[in-house]
Amino acid sequence: MLIQKIPGKMASTWEEDSKAVLDTWETYDVSLDEFKDAILNKGINFIQGRGAVAWIVDSTKAKGVFSQEIQDFIGSDIFPAFVNNGIKYFITIKPEVANLTSLTVSNYAAKAGPAGMKLVDVKSVADAKMWLRENADKK
């Protein structure tokens, strides 16, 4: 189920079977306002009352890097909002070839643990869903 979309940049879907949001990124060239609206407003509002346990970020096709402003915002605002709304697992799917995009993912993902989430790295969306089926407490 589509939650929201920034055309040509990213889309968020609800994965009911996994109780997870899946963000699929095409480019990290987004403004802080676009990012806030997509993740903090639409994404967080959507998961309330749905028993969400995970947020999956698929960057396998993403290009570019998040601005430092967005990376800082993820650590200061996004991750605490995830935890406050029941998200226990932050799952990243990075490009196979190390590049600036994968470094960007590593930089912001490193803040998941201090925020109170378990950070999980997997190779595909299917692996993320399998990991959740095998490891997540979805009570």
- Say how far residue 66 (Cα) sits from the centre of its chain: 13
Q: Which neighbouring-strand residues pair with 10?
A: 6, 25
139 residues of the chain, pLDDT tens digit each: 999 999 999 999 999 999 999 999 999 899 999 999 999 999 999 999 999 999 999 988 888 888 889 988 988 999 899 999 999 998 988 766 555 445 555 566 666 666 678 888 889 999 999 999 999 865 4
Domain count for the chain, please give it.
1
Q: What strands lie across the sheet with 118-122, from one edge to the other? A: 2-6, 10-15, 20-25, 54-58, 89-93, 118-122
Tokens encoding 56: 């999956």
* pTM for this predicted structure: 0.87
Tell me, what CATH number does 74's domain have?
A: 3.30.750.24
Q: What are phi and psi of 137, to 5 degrees?
A: -95, 105
Domain holding 44, by residue range, is: 2-135
